[in-house]
Amino acid sequence: MLLAVDVGNTNVTCGVFAEADLVHTFRLRSSRERTVDECAVSLHQMLALRGVAARDLSAAIVASVVPALTETFARAIDATLVQRPLVVGAPGFDLGLVIACDNPAEVGADRIVNAVAALARCPGGALVVDLGTATTIDCVSPRGEFLGGVIAPGVEVGLQALVGRTAKLPPVPLTPPPAALGRNTRHAMQAGSVYGHAALVDGLLSRLQAELDFEAEVIGTGGLAPAIAPHTTRLRSLDPDLTLSGLRVLFEKNRGAV
């Protein structure tokens, strides 16, 4: 079995693959203060809850956008579960893409992994919408090029900032109001957050498609995608496990380096 670990800014998403099948998933908090031992215990416990023992794992791969946790999780896996995991972006790691950006080194590992998964699924090219702590839209071409994309504040980040920077606006749940025309403060804030973010996604997708020389398929992922996608006109295909799938593809491409 393969353990795939995606270290994000809010959560650490983990998946266990049996060959090409994703058989288990779980999440941990991305606490930057975690020690190697704490990470090891958490991984062991979450795997044990799903009936997976350390001996059942044959390899692991890690992608991380939190530098403080990258080595922590790599060492935790190496010490207690399987041999040293592959780390996306490490020297000699084959990304399977040409990073056609001004500064390839600054592109987050999660964006690259999503693009790898999207290209495997959509060889004609794709736009990947990842709705999480940040909202990103990234483009991968039919030629296997990561062309770049868009980074915007995530919908929850924007809502939290709005509440934190105002004196009278209360916290509200991220659910759609009855109509875009809010008749009270709660509904007005929900309309701005849910419908406003959906409009942002649609508008950016239209602009990006107009700049491309191919018709891109659109794929959505990320923890907040189910809250926003139903209110867009262009985001209809969702894959909550897209990043984990990309990690499996990259592991297969780099398994000889294990």
Cite the DSSP H helix spans in the chain.
36-49, 67-80, 109-121, 155-164, 185-190, 196-211, 225-228, 242-254
Q: Rounded CA gap, 157 and 210, in Å?
A: 28
SS3 258: coil
Q: Rounded CA gap, 40 and 225, in Å?
A: 30
Active site residue 110: yes
Nearest CA-CA partner of 187 in 202, 198, 176 = 176
Q: If you ran DSSP here, which 8-state letter would residue 142 be given?
A: T
**Active-site residue identified among 6, 94, 110, 130:** 110
Catalytic residue numbers? 110
